[in-house]
Amino acid sequence: MMLILVLMALLLFQVAFITNVAIVLASPSGGWIQTYGTETNKDRAESLIQCTDGGYVIAGNTNVSTTPPRNQLWLLKTDALGKMEWNKTYGSIGSAIGRCVIQTSDGGYAIAGTVNRVAEVVKIDSAGNIQWDRTFGEAAFAYFIIQTLDGGYALSGSTGGSGPSMGDNFWLIKIDSSGGSLWSKTYSQTSGSAASVIQTIDGGFAMIGSTQNSDFLLVKTNSQGIFEWSKTYGSEDMDAGYSIVQNPDGSFVMAGLLWNRTTFGEGSMGVGLVKADSAGNQLWLKNYPGSGSPSSMTHGSDGSYILCSSMLDKIDAGGNLIWSKNVSL
């Protein structure tokens, strides 16, 4: 089936979100819908950002060969109204999954993904032209990329196992602005996969993901990737951490799936938030039933948290639901 990307312009928050089936962007002056991709190529979108020019970049993967099926990392750039400006493929051909795209400080973009069980990062300029293409690690699965304060990048994911959901350990690699590897760390203290990473106020890194026992797992390192501490959070049932932000006071808020049938009731698996202090000690845990699997989270301008899944949820600083909007088709 052709991938349908739905764009809404949410000027109230100046953010954009992507779910597994839709890219969401909304405007108080009226909406529009654009579709991209083809049935033949089986295009899949995994990440969306709003660019400094008001347009959008969508990252994912597209099929480039049907016998046998082979994929490449895929980027699509639109203007502010969703009109396509360019559409390009990058990197190695194989079992490619494009996971994350960011806009870089020079106005270009960096896309991270995994091809044939190897992590790959492609850096392009603002017009989509390749500047460099690097691969890292064997049996390394990349989920998330950030640009660091020194102009380089940090890439998180997992190593080992038979796939991203079966990773043996959290993995973090630091690369310079040209894609050269500075250091690579695998954390034997952990067992699971790192879904996302942030650079912390102290210059270190914090990764959120899931343990193989279905709990949130937060790993904190120093600026050189040296392990400092890890904490697990969750309910008595199936949980998974996906996204993390740090507050100005150093505390962390983590979003993911939470399901505790005893506390929240049957059928209440949905978006959950965990707040921890700067040392990782849990302050509160909240569940918002019926919200689906959260794909992203950001700060609201008023200190709230905005979560996207099949729903768009606004949560206040204390973890209380302010409103919830259905954004699925």
Which CATH code, of 3.40.30.10, 2.120.10.30, 3.90.480.20, 2.60.120.10, is assigned to 97-326?
2.120.10.30
**DSSP 3-state assignment of 247?**
coil
Closest of 146, 158, 218 to residue 186, by C-alpha: 158
pLDDT in tens, 153-199: 999 999 876 544 555 789 999 999 999 999 999 998 777 789 999 99
For 142, the token pair is: 């990349």
Q: Which residue has the tokens 């990737």?
A: 225
Asked if residue 171 lies in contact with residue 137, where contact means CB atoms within 8 angstroms, the answer is: yes
Taking the C-alpha atoms of residue 41 and residue 1, their distance in angstroms, rounded to an integer, is: 9
For 323, the token pair is: 């409103």
Considering just the CA atoms, what is the radius of gyration of the chain in Å? 19
Least confident of 3-7, 139-143, 214-218: 3-7
Asked if residue 86 lies in contact with residue 126, where contact means CB atoms within 8 angstroms, the answer is: no
Q: Who has greater pLDDT, 167 or 222?
A: 222
pLDDT in tens, 21-79: 334 444 434 567 788 876 666 778 888 899 999 999 999 888 887 677 688 999 999 99
DSSP letter (8 states) at residue 310 = S
Neighbours of 195 (CB within 10 A): 27
Closest of 155, 71, 156 to residue 116, by C-alpha: 71
For 148, the token pair is: 């660091």
Torsion sign over Cα 55, 61, 64, 66 = negative
DSSP letter (8 states) at residue 295 = -
For the chain, the structural domain boundaries read: 97-326
Taking the C-alpha atoms of residue 142 and residue 102, their distance in angstroms, rounded to an integer, is: 14
Angle, CA 242 vertex, CA 10 and CA 131 arms, to 5°: 75
Closest of 82, 131, 137 to residue 113, by C-alpha: 137
Mean pLDDT, residues 205-233: 92
pLDDT in tens, 246-286: 999 999 999 988 875 655 555 556 788 999 999 999 999 98
Asked if residue 257 lies in contact with residue 243, where contact means CB atoms within 8 angstroms, the answer is: no
Secondary structure (DSSP) of 155-183: EEEEESSSSGGG-SEEEEEEE-TTS-EEE
